[in-house]
Amino acid sequence: MSQNDEDCLGPLLRMYDEYVDTYRLSDGALPRLMQLKRAHTGFVVKNAAAIADGEGFDPLERECALAAALLHDTGRYEQLKLYNTFRDADSIDHAVFSHQIVKSKGWLAAVGASRPESVLAAILYHNRRDLPDGLDRVTLAAAQAVRDADKLDIFRVLQAEIATVDWRKDSRAFWNLATDKPPSAEVVACIEARSPVDYQAIKSLSDFVMIQVGWMISGLYYRTSRRLCAERGHLAFRRDFLHRLSDDPAVDRVCDLAESVLSEGVSPK
Ligand SMILES: [Fe+2]
């Protein structure tokens, strides 16, 4: 982030962290899962700044993208406290919850944000399958930047988890998903057709990882996001990991498709 980002985000960042501080335990530490969310948020802001740089965002687009990146997961702390899970299906839509909390706290008005409604919309839409039609230029830039920045960090998070979890010994270590199954035909067909995969179709860890490869094919909106993804080796990591899970030929087929998209900077549909 640049000094300008600090100027625009500084007061918002302090309000956000004061809010996060209310979730600290009596010894001053945040619960571990909340710490991970706070760290994720920091990386999403950095990714959004890199996207804004790479795409030549104007100052208004940049301000909205960075503010939305900082605030996009605000509801995660209260979600965990109330429901003890990050699974939206078992609790609450965390984007709706984040939007509601940010709005009710009045942070954006307090810092004199230029376009609070764009930031709020980008928060609300960050986990939707599709963005609504008709968004204005600034809202669209903020929303797409946050969605890409979030995915880029989810790539990092999965790699960190794989590095620390003994997934071979514990066949259900990842979200209770089987680690010894090939990707399902349904998931592969959706990815190859560049259509969104229904999360109900995830039956194995292979499916889960393949869906992330699917994001590289049709889920990263900006060329800069695809470049960052390629530079960070996220596809190579997944290809290697998928080979360890399964010898299904669909793995290389889908990974080859992702490689061509990432290397050519082809726009997703
Ligand atoms: Fe989120």
Percent helix, strand, coil in the chain (nearest 5)?
65, 0, 30
Q: Separation of 138 CA from ligand 1 center, angstroms?
A: 20
Domain hosting 86: range is 3-144
Residue (of 187, 68, 41) closest to 135 by Cα position: 68
Looking at the structure, tell me whether residues 18 and 82 fall in a common domain.
yes
Q: Separation of 45 CA from ligand 1 center, angstroms?
A: 13
CA distance 23 to 31: 8
Looking at the structure, tell me whether residues 35 and 95 fall in a common domain.
yes
> Are the C-beta atoms of residues 238 and 259 closer than 8 Å to each other?
no
Helices (H) and strands (E) in the chain, counts: 13, 0
Q: Separation of 171 CA from ligand 1 center, angstroms?
A: 27
158 in any annotated domain:
no
Q: What is the 3-state secondary structure (H, E, C) of 60-126?
A: HHHHHHHHHHHHCCCCHHHHHHHHCCCCHHHCCCHHHHHHHHHHHHCHHHHCCCCCHHHHHHHHHCC
pLDDT tens digit sequence for 186-232: 999 999 999 888 878 888 999 999 999 999 999 999 999 999 999 99
Looking at the structure, tell me whether residues 63 and 119 fall in a common domain.
yes
Q: Separation of 250 CA from ligand 1 center, angstroms?
A: 29
Report, as an integer, the average pLDDT of 141-158: 97
Whichever domain contains 37, its CATH number is 1.10.3210
Looking at the structure, tell me whether residues 10 and 139 fall in a common domain.
yes
Q: Percentage of residues in the chain with pLDDT exceeding 90? A: 81
269 in any annotated domain:
no
Looking at the structure, tell me whether residues 60 and 139 fall in a common domain.
yes
Looking at the structure, tell me whether residues 175 and 110 fall in a common domain.
no
**Residue-level pLDDT at 201:** 87
Looking at the structure, tell me whether residues 193 and 101 fall in a common domain.
no
Highest mean pLDDT (candidates 64-68, 169-173, 181-185): 64-68
Q: Separation of 125 CA from ligand 1 center, angstroms?
A: 10
Looking at the structure, tell me whether residues 90 and 14 fall in a common domain.
yes
Looking at the structure, tell me whether residues 99 and 232 fall in a common domain.
no
Q: Separation of 247 CA from ligand 1 center, angstroms?
A: 32
Q: Quick check: 267 pLDDT over 70?
A: no
Least confident of 67-81, 159-173, 186-200: 159-173
Could you tell me which residues come within 8 angstroms of residue 126 by beta carbon, excluding any fewer than 6 positions away? 68, 72, 95, 143, 146, 147, 150
Q: Quick check: 269 pLDDT over 50?
A: no
9 in any annotated domain:
yes
Q: Separation of 126 CA from ligand 1 center, angstroms?
A: 7
pTM of the complete model: 0.93
Q: Separation of 249 CA from ligand 1 center, angstroms?
A: 32
Q: Separation of 206 CA from ligand 1 center, angstroms?
A: 22
pLDDT tens digit sequence for 21-62: 999 999 999 999 999 999 999 999 999 999 999 999 999 999
Number of domains forming the structure of the chain: 2
Taking CA atoms, 227 is separated from 51, 185, 203, 234, in Å, by 10, 29, 30, 11
25 in any annotated domain:
yes
Looking at the structure, tell me whether residues 7 and 98 fall in a common domain.
yes
Residue that finishes a domain, picked among 96, 115, 144: 144
Using the Cα atoms of residue 166, residue 171, residue 175 and residue 176 in order, give the sign of their dihedral.
Answer: negative
Q: Which pair of structure tokens corresponds to residue 214?
A: 């699917």
Looking at the structure, tell me whether residues 36 and 169 fall in a common domain.
no
> Are the C-beta atoms of residues 227 and 54 closer than 8 Å to each other?
yes
Give me the residues near ligand 1 (ion), CB cutoff below 5 Å.
Answer: 73
Q: Separation of 22 CA from ligand 1 center, angstroms?
A: 20
Q: Separation of 178 CA from ligand 1 center, angstroms?
A: 25
CA distance 33 to 30: 8
Q: Separation of 94 CA from ligand 1 center, angstroms?
A: 7
**Residue-level pLDDT at 199:** 79
Q: Quick check: 168 pLDDT over 90?
A: no
Half-sphere exposure of 106 (CA within 13 A, CB side): 1
151 in any annotated domain:
no
Looking at the structure, tell me whether residues 129 and 242 fall in a common domain.
no
**Residue-level pLDDT at 6:** 60
pLDDT tens digit sequence for 101-129: 999 999 999 999 999 999 999 999 999 98
149 in any annotated domain:
no
**Residue-level pLDDT at 70:** 98
135 in any annotated domain:
yes
